[in-house]
Amino acid sequence: MEIRVPHYYRKFKCTADRCPDTCCAGWQIVIDEDTLEKYHKFEGPFGNRLANSIDWREGVFKQYEDKRCAFLDENNLCDIYSEAGPEMFCRTCKTYPRHFEEFENVREISLAMSCPEAARMILGPKEPVKFITVEKNYKEESYEDFDFFLYSKLVDAREIIIDILQDRSYPIKMRMAMALAFSHDLQARIYRGHTVAMEEVFERYTKPGAKERFAKRLSLYEDLPKVAKDFKKGMLEQFSKLEVLRASWPELLAKTLENVEDEKLEKQWREKELDADLEIITEHLMIYFIFTYFCGAVYDEEAHSKMKFSVIGTLMVLETAKTLWAENGKGSKMEAVLEAAKRYSREVEHSDENIELLEKLSRREGVFGLKSLLTGILN
Protein backbone atom coordinates (compact mmCIF):
# COMPACT_ATOMS: atom_id res chain seq x y z
CA MET A 1 0.00 0.00 0.00
CA GLU A 2 1.16 3.54 -0.77
CA ILE A 3 1.17 5.99 2.14
CA ARG A 4 1.26 9.68 1.21
CA VAL A 5 1.89 12.46 3.73
CA PRO A 6 3.05 16.10 3.78
CA HIS A 7 6.76 16.47 4.54
CA TYR A 8 6.17 17.86 8.05
CA TYR A 9 3.79 15.06 9.07
CA ARG A 10 6.21 12.93 11.13
CA LYS A 11 7.51 15.96 13.04
CA PHE A 12 4.20 16.39 14.84
CA LYS A 13 4.22 15.92 18.62
CA CYS A 14 1.34 16.67 20.95
CA THR A 15 2.23 19.57 23.27
CA ALA A 16 -0.10 18.15 25.98
CA ASP A 17 -0.48 20.57 28.90
CA ARG A 18 1.48 23.24 27.01
CA CYS A 19 -1.23 23.42 24.35
CA PRO A 20 -3.13 26.75 24.35
CA ASP A 21 -6.35 24.76 23.89
CA THR A 22 -7.43 21.14 24.31
CA CYS A 23 -8.76 18.55 21.88
CA CYS A 24 -10.64 16.91 24.78
CA ALA A 25 -13.41 19.51 25.07
CA GLY A 26 -16.08 20.96 22.84
CA TRP A 27 -17.07 17.83 20.97
CA GLN A 28 -18.09 14.26 21.68
CA ILE A 29 -15.27 11.71 21.56
CA VAL A 30 -16.48 8.50 19.96
CA ILE A 31 -15.06 5.24 21.33
CA ASP A 32 -14.51 2.32 18.95
CA GLU A 33 -16.02 -1.08 19.77
CA ASP A 34 -12.70 -2.81 20.57
CA THR A 35 -11.75 -0.12 23.10
CA LEU A 36 -15.21 -0.14 24.65
CA GLU A 37 -14.70 -3.85 25.26
CA LYS A 38 -11.33 -3.17 26.94
CA TYR A 39 -12.90 -0.49 29.12
CA HIS A 40 -15.73 -2.86 30.06
CA LYS A 41 -13.24 -5.46 31.29
CA PHE A 42 -10.96 -3.02 33.14
CA GLU A 43 -10.98 -3.80 36.88
CA GLY A 44 -10.28 -1.90 40.07
CA PRO A 45 -11.13 1.66 41.12
CA PHE A 46 -10.29 3.10 37.70
CA GLY A 47 -12.47 0.44 36.11
CA ASN A 48 -15.36 1.76 38.20
CA ARG A 49 -14.60 5.28 37.02
CA LEU A 50 -14.59 4.10 33.41
CA ALA A 51 -17.95 2.43 33.94
CA ASN A 52 -19.45 5.60 35.37
CA SER A 53 -17.88 8.09 32.94
CA ILE A 54 -18.84 6.54 29.62
CA ASP A 55 -22.16 6.80 27.83
CA TRP A 56 -22.30 3.13 26.88
CA ARG A 57 -25.39 3.45 24.73
CA GLU A 58 -23.87 6.22 22.56
CA GLY A 59 -20.31 4.90 22.80
CA VAL A 60 -18.82 8.22 23.87
CA PHE A 61 -17.09 9.71 26.89
CA LYS A 62 -19.36 11.72 29.14
CA GLN A 63 -18.77 15.45 29.32
CA TYR A 64 -18.90 17.80 32.25
CA GLU A 65 -18.52 21.57 32.62
CA ASP A 66 -17.68 23.41 29.37
CA LYS A 67 -18.13 20.13 27.48
CA ARG A 68 -14.85 18.82 28.87
CA CYS A 69 -14.22 15.09 28.65
CA ALA A 70 -14.80 13.33 31.97
CA PHE A 71 -11.16 12.18 31.96
CA LEU A 72 -9.59 15.59 31.31
CA ASP A 73 -7.92 16.90 34.47
CA GLU A 74 -7.39 20.50 35.57
CA ASN A 75 -4.02 20.60 33.80
CA ASN A 76 -5.57 19.51 30.49
CA LEU A 77 -3.96 16.08 30.78
CA CYS A 78 -5.76 12.77 30.28
CA ASP A 79 -6.41 10.55 33.32
CA ILE A 80 -6.71 7.48 31.08
CA TYR A 81 -3.12 8.07 29.97
CA SER A 82 -1.82 8.60 33.50
CA GLU A 83 -3.91 5.89 35.21
CA ALA A 84 -4.09 3.14 32.58
CA GLY A 85 -1.41 3.97 29.99
CA PRO A 86 -1.46 5.10 26.35
CA GLU A 87 -2.39 1.58 25.16
CA MET A 88 -5.84 2.24 26.64
CA PHE A 89 -6.54 5.18 24.36
CA CYS A 90 -9.47 4.71 22.00
CA ARG A 91 -8.81 4.98 18.26
CA THR A 92 -9.96 8.62 18.13
CA CYS A 93 -7.52 9.71 20.83
CA LYS A 94 -4.66 7.67 19.34
CA THR A 95 -4.98 9.14 15.86
CA TYR A 96 -6.04 12.78 16.40
CA PRO A 97 -5.11 15.20 14.82
CA ARG A 98 -4.32 12.85 11.94
CA HIS A 99 -6.83 12.76 9.11
CA PHE A 100 -7.09 9.70 6.85
CA GLU A 101 -8.35 9.52 3.27
CA GLU A 102 -8.61 5.96 1.95
CA PHE A 103 -8.40 4.92 -1.68
CA GLU A 104 -7.76 1.53 -3.24
CA ASN A 105 -4.27 0.56 -2.01
CA VAL A 106 -3.51 4.20 -1.20
CA ARG A 107 -3.81 5.95 2.17
CA GLU A 108 -3.29 9.69 2.45
CA ILE A 109 -2.69 11.12 5.92
CA SER A 110 -2.71 14.78 6.85
CA LEU A 111 -2.90 16.81 10.04
CA ALA A 112 -6.04 18.72 11.00
CA MET A 113 -5.89 22.48 11.57
CA SER A 114 -8.26 22.05 14.52
CA CYS A 115 -5.12 21.23 16.53
CA PRO A 116 -3.17 24.43 17.34
CA GLU A 117 0.23 22.73 17.02
CA ALA A 118 -0.75 21.12 13.70
CA ALA A 119 -2.08 24.46 12.42
CA ARG A 120 1.24 26.08 13.24
CA MET A 121 3.13 23.36 11.35
CA ILE A 122 0.80 23.70 8.36
CA LEU A 123 0.64 27.50 8.08
CA GLY A 124 3.84 28.72 9.71
CA PRO A 125 6.66 27.63 7.35
CA LYS A 126 7.95 29.90 4.60
CA GLU A 127 8.92 27.06 2.26
CA PRO A 128 6.39 25.30 -0.01
CA VAL A 129 4.97 22.04 1.30
CA LYS A 130 6.14 18.82 -0.32
CA PHE A 131 4.51 15.41 -0.23
CA ILE A 132 6.22 12.10 0.47
CA THR A 133 5.00 8.72 -0.78
CA VAL A 134 6.28 5.46 0.70
CA GLU A 135 5.21 1.86 0.31
CA LYS A 136 4.18 -0.20 3.33
CA ASN A 137 3.44 -3.90 3.55
CA TYR A 138 -0.12 -3.43 4.69
CA LYS A 139 -2.91 -5.71 3.60
CA GLU A 140 -4.20 -4.65 0.19
CA GLU A 141 -7.79 -3.46 0.17
CA SER A 142 -10.16 -3.66 -2.78
CA TYR A 143 -13.01 -1.18 -3.15
CA GLU A 144 -16.10 -2.28 -5.05
CA ASP A 145 -16.64 -0.17 -8.19
CA PHE A 146 -13.56 1.95 -7.45
CA ASP A 147 -12.70 3.90 -10.62
CA PHE A 148 -8.92 3.68 -10.50
CA PHE A 149 -8.55 5.40 -13.89
CA LEU A 150 -10.49 8.44 -12.67
CA TYR A 151 -8.51 8.40 -9.41
CA SER A 152 -5.20 8.44 -11.30
CA LYS A 153 -6.41 11.40 -13.37
CA LEU A 154 -7.48 13.24 -10.20
CA VAL A 155 -4.03 12.66 -8.69
CA ASP A 156 -2.46 14.10 -11.87
CA ALA A 157 -4.88 17.04 -11.72
CA ARG A 158 -4.03 17.68 -8.08
CA GLU A 159 -0.33 17.79 -8.91
CA ILE A 160 -1.04 20.43 -11.56
CA ILE A 161 -3.15 22.42 -9.09
CA ILE A 162 -0.40 22.28 -6.48
CA ASP A 163 2.19 23.38 -9.06
CA ILE A 164 -0.04 26.33 -10.00
CA LEU A 165 -0.63 27.31 -6.37
CA GLN A 166 3.07 27.10 -5.46
CA ASP A 167 4.36 29.21 -8.38
CA ARG A 168 5.29 32.28 -6.34
CA SER A 169 6.25 34.31 -9.39
CA TYR A 170 2.54 35.18 -9.60
CA PRO A 171 0.24 36.72 -6.94
CA ILE A 172 -1.65 34.13 -4.91
CA LYS A 173 -4.99 35.60 -6.04
CA MET A 174 -4.14 34.82 -9.66
CA ARG A 175 -2.99 31.31 -8.71
CA MET A 176 -6.23 30.61 -6.81
CA ALA A 177 -8.32 31.91 -9.71
CA MET A 178 -6.42 29.75 -12.19
CA ALA A 179 -6.77 26.64 -10.04
CA LEU A 180 -10.52 27.30 -9.74
CA ALA A 181 -10.89 27.75 -13.52
CA PHE A 182 -8.85 24.59 -14.11
CA SER A 183 -11.19 22.52 -11.93
CA HIS A 184 -14.22 24.07 -13.68
CA ASP A 185 -12.95 23.01 -17.11
CA LEU A 186 -12.01 19.59 -15.75
CA GLN A 187 -15.46 19.02 -14.28
CA ALA A 188 -17.16 19.29 -17.67
CA ARG A 189 -15.12 16.30 -18.88
CA ILE A 190 -15.83 14.30 -15.72
CA TYR A 191 -19.59 14.85 -16.02
CA ARG A 192 -19.51 13.61 -19.61
CA GLY A 193 -17.45 10.58 -18.65
CA HIS A 194 -14.61 11.81 -20.86
CA THR A 195 -11.74 11.12 -18.51
CA VAL A 196 -9.36 10.74 -21.47
CA ALA A 197 -10.30 14.30 -22.51
CA MET A 198 -9.05 15.51 -19.13
CA GLU A 199 -5.58 15.35 -20.69
CA GLU A 200 -6.59 18.19 -23.02
CA VAL A 201 -7.32 20.37 -20.00
CA PHE A 202 -4.01 19.33 -18.41
CA GLU A 203 -2.15 20.40 -21.55
CA ARG A 204 -3.98 23.72 -21.87
CA TYR A 205 -3.11 24.78 -18.31
CA THR A 206 0.50 23.57 -18.31
CA LYS A 207 1.80 24.56 -21.74
CA PRO A 208 4.25 27.49 -21.96
CA GLY A 209 2.62 30.87 -21.54
CA ALA A 210 -0.59 29.47 -19.99
CA LYS A 211 -0.28 31.50 -16.78
CA GLU A 212 0.49 34.73 -18.63
CA ARG A 213 -2.49 34.30 -20.93
CA PHE A 214 -4.77 33.47 -18.01
CA ALA A 215 -3.60 36.48 -15.97
CA LYS A 216 -4.56 38.83 -18.81
CA ARG A 217 -8.14 37.54 -18.75
CA LEU A 218 -8.73 38.39 -15.09
CA SER A 219 -9.31 42.14 -15.48
CA LEU A 220 -13.04 41.46 -15.88
CA TYR A 221 -13.20 40.40 -12.20
CA GLU A 222 -10.75 42.87 -10.67
CA ASP A 223 -11.28 46.30 -9.06
CA LEU A 224 -14.86 45.53 -8.02
CA PRO A 225 -14.87 46.42 -4.29
CA LYS A 226 -18.67 46.70 -3.96
CA VAL A 227 -19.27 43.37 -5.70
CA ALA A 228 -16.57 41.82 -3.51
CA LYS A 229 -18.30 43.10 -0.36
CA ASP A 230 -21.57 41.59 -1.54
CA PHE A 231 -19.77 38.30 -2.12
CA LYS A 232 -18.33 38.31 1.41
CA LYS A 233 -21.74 39.07 2.90
CA GLY A 234 -23.30 36.27 0.88
CA MET A 235 -20.56 33.83 1.87
CA LEU A 236 -20.96 34.58 5.57
CA GLU A 237 -24.73 34.25 5.29
CA GLN A 238 -24.35 30.82 3.68
CA PHE A 239 -22.34 29.67 6.69
CA SER A 240 -25.28 30.51 8.93
CA LYS A 241 -27.05 27.51 7.35
CA LEU A 242 -24.53 25.05 8.77
CA GLU A 243 -24.90 23.09 12.00
CA VAL A 244 -23.53 25.08 14.94
CA LEU A 245 -21.06 23.08 17.02
CA ARG A 246 -19.79 25.85 19.29
CA ALA A 247 -21.66 28.86 20.61
CA SER A 248 -18.74 31.18 19.82
CA TRP A 249 -18.96 30.45 16.07
CA PRO A 250 -22.17 32.40 15.22
CA GLU A 251 -20.81 35.32 17.25
CA LEU A 252 -17.61 35.32 15.17
CA LEU A 253 -19.61 35.17 11.94
CA ALA A 254 -21.77 38.11 13.04
CA LYS A 255 -18.75 40.26 13.94
CA THR A 256 -17.03 39.34 10.68
CA LEU A 257 -20.14 40.32 8.74
CA GLU A 258 -20.10 43.72 10.44
CA ASN A 259 -16.46 44.23 9.46
CA VAL A 260 -17.10 43.67 5.73
CA GLU A 261 -17.92 47.39 5.38
CA ASP A 262 -14.84 48.51 7.33
CA GLU A 263 -12.52 49.67 4.53
CA LYS A 264 -9.90 51.00 6.95
CA LEU A 265 -9.61 47.60 8.65
CA GLU A 266 -9.35 45.90 5.27
CA LYS A 267 -6.49 48.19 4.23
CA GLN A 268 -4.64 47.66 7.52
CA TRP A 269 -5.10 43.89 7.26
CA ARG A 270 -3.56 43.79 3.79
CA GLU A 271 -0.55 45.90 4.73
CA LYS A 272 2.63 43.85 4.85
CA GLU A 273 3.84 43.00 8.32
CA LEU A 274 6.97 41.25 9.55
CA ASP A 275 5.20 38.52 11.50
CA ALA A 276 3.08 37.15 8.67
CA ASP A 277 3.11 36.92 4.89
CA LEU A 278 -0.53 36.54 3.87
CA GLU A 279 0.49 35.39 0.38
CA ILE A 280 2.34 32.36 1.79
CA ILE A 281 -0.35 31.67 4.41
CA THR A 282 -3.03 31.70 1.70
CA GLU A 283 -0.97 29.30 -0.39
CA HIS A 284 -0.59 26.91 2.54
CA LEU A 285 -4.32 27.05 3.29
CA MET A 286 -5.19 26.17 -0.30
CA ILE A 287 -2.66 23.31 -0.42
CA TYR A 288 -4.00 21.96 2.89
CA PHE A 289 -7.58 21.80 1.64
CA ILE A 290 -6.66 20.51 -1.83
CA PHE A 291 -4.48 17.68 -0.52
CA THR A 292 -7.08 16.64 2.02
CA TYR A 293 -10.23 16.72 -0.10
CA PHE A 294 -9.67 16.99 -3.86
CA CYS A 295 -9.10 13.32 -4.73
CA GLY A 296 -12.23 12.38 -2.79
CA ALA A 297 -13.99 13.32 -6.04
CA VAL A 298 -13.32 9.74 -7.14
CA TYR A 299 -16.34 8.79 -5.02
CA ASP A 300 -18.81 11.46 -6.17
CA GLU A 301 -17.25 12.89 -9.37
CA GLU A 302 -17.42 16.42 -7.91
CA ALA A 303 -13.88 17.73 -8.43
CA HIS A 304 -15.04 21.33 -8.96
CA SER A 305 -17.01 21.24 -5.70
CA LYS A 306 -13.89 20.04 -3.87
CA MET A 307 -11.99 22.99 -5.34
CA LYS A 308 -14.76 25.41 -4.37
CA PHE A 309 -14.75 23.92 -0.86
CA SER A 310 -11.01 24.66 -0.69
CA VAL A 311 -11.39 28.24 -1.95
CA ILE A 312 -14.32 28.97 0.37
CA GLY A 313 -12.46 27.51 3.37
CA THR A 314 -9.39 29.61 2.61
CA LEU A 315 -11.38 32.82 2.19
CA MET A 316 -13.38 32.16 5.37
CA VAL A 317 -10.29 31.52 7.49
CA LEU A 318 -8.70 34.76 6.30
CA GLU A 319 -11.89 36.80 6.68
CA THR A 320 -12.56 35.62 10.24
CA ALA A 321 -8.85 36.04 11.06
CA LYS A 322 -9.15 39.72 10.17
CA THR A 323 -11.92 40.08 12.76
CA LEU A 324 -9.95 38.20 15.43
CA TRP A 325 -6.90 40.36 14.65
CA ALA A 326 -8.95 43.55 15.16
CA GLU A 327 -10.41 42.19 18.42
CA ASN A 328 -6.93 41.39 19.74
CA GLY A 329 -5.62 44.92 19.28
CA LYS A 330 -4.13 44.27 15.84
CA GLY A 331 -1.18 42.34 17.17
CA SER A 332 0.11 39.26 15.39
CA LYS A 333 -1.59 38.41 12.09
CA MET A 334 -0.15 34.90 12.23
CA GLU A 335 -1.71 34.22 15.62
CA ALA A 336 -5.05 35.53 14.34
CA VAL A 337 -4.89 33.21 11.31
CA LEU A 338 -3.95 30.23 13.47
CA GLU A 339 -6.90 30.87 15.77
CA ALA A 340 -9.26 31.35 12.82
CA ALA A 341 -8.02 28.15 11.15
CA LYS A 342 -8.54 26.19 14.36
CA ARG A 343 -12.07 27.53 14.80
CA TYR A 344 -13.01 26.94 11.17
CA SER A 345 -11.66 23.40 11.20
CA ARG A 346 -13.45 22.49 14.42
CA GLU A 347 -16.73 23.96 13.18
CA VAL A 348 -16.70 22.66 9.61
CA GLU A 349 -14.19 19.85 9.10
CA HIS A 350 -15.23 17.88 12.17
CA SER A 351 -18.85 17.71 11.06
CA ASP A 352 -19.68 15.40 8.15
CA GLU A 353 -23.03 17.17 7.99
CA ASN A 354 -21.36 20.56 7.55
CA ILE A 355 -18.90 19.30 4.94
CA GLU A 356 -21.71 17.72 2.91
CA LEU A 357 -23.94 20.79 3.17
CA LEU A 358 -21.14 23.20 2.25
CA GLU A 359 -20.26 21.09 -0.81
CA LYS A 360 -23.95 21.00 -1.74
CA LEU A 361 -24.19 24.78 -1.41
CA SER A 362 -21.04 25.20 -3.50
CA ARG A 363 -22.65 23.35 -6.41
CA ARG A 364 -25.29 26.05 -6.73
CA GLU A 365 -24.89 29.20 -8.75
CA GLY A 366 -25.21 32.53 -7.00
CA VAL A 367 -22.75 33.41 -4.27
CA PHE A 368 -20.66 30.26 -4.86
CA GLY A 369 -20.90 30.36 -8.65
CA LEU A 370 -17.68 30.56 -10.67
CA LYS A 371 -17.89 34.28 -11.51
CA SER A 372 -18.85 35.21 -7.95
CA LEU A 373 -15.95 33.22 -6.48
CA LEU A 374 -13.50 34.72 -8.96
CA THR A 375 -14.63 38.19 -7.84
CA GLY A 376 -14.25 37.18 -4.19
CA ILE A 377 -10.74 35.87 -4.81
CA LEU A 378 -9.45 38.79 -6.86
CA ASN A 379 -10.68 41.73 -4.75
* Tens-place pLDDT, residues 4-16: 999 999 999 999 8
Give the pLDDT confidence score for residue 236 in this predicted structure.
97
Is residue 130 assigned to a domain? Answer: no
Q: What are phi and psi of 133, to 5 degrees?
A: -120, 125
**Helices 303-327 and 225-239, packing angle to 10 deg:** 100
Is residue 121 assigned to a domain? Answer: no
Is residue 131 assigned to a domain? Answer: no
CA distance 366 to 280: 29
What is the three-class DSSP state of 60? strand
Is residue 119 assigned to a domain? Answer: no
Q: What is the pLDDT averaged over residues 300-307?
A: 97
CA distance 342 to 112: 9
Asked if residue 354 and residue 213 are part of one domain, the reply reads yes
CA distance 372 to 224: 11
Give the pLDDT confidence score for residue 274 in this predicted structure.
66
What's the domain count of the chain? 2
The partner residues of 103 in beta bridges, in order of sequence, read: 106
Asked if residue 180 and residue 79 are part of one domain, the reply reads no
Domain boundary among 52, 68, 95: 95
Asked if residue 91 and residue 175 are part of one domain, the reply reads no
Asked if residue 308 and residue 163 are part of one domain, the reply reads yes
Is residue 82 assigned to a domain? Answer: yes
Domain that includes residue 47, residue range: 24-95
Domain boundary among 95, 112, 130: 95
pLDDT beyond 80 at 139: no
Highest mean pLDDT out of 18-22, 134-138, 372-376: 372-376
End-to-end CA distance of the chain: 43
Asked if residue 355 and residue 279 are part of one domain, the reply reads yes
The pLDDT tens digits for 249-281 are: 999 999 999 999 999 999 999 988 766 799 999
Asked if residue 371 and residue 281 are part of one domain, the reply reads yes
Q: How many Å is the maximal CA-CA distance in the chain?
A: 72
CA distance 86 to 94: 8
Is residue 58 assigned to a domain? Answer: yes
The pLDDT tens digits for 148-195 are: 999 999 999 999 999 999 999 999 999 999 999 999 999 999 998 888
Give the pLDDT confidence score for residue 276 in this predicted structure.
78
Asked if residue 351 and residue 226 are part of one domain, the reply reads yes
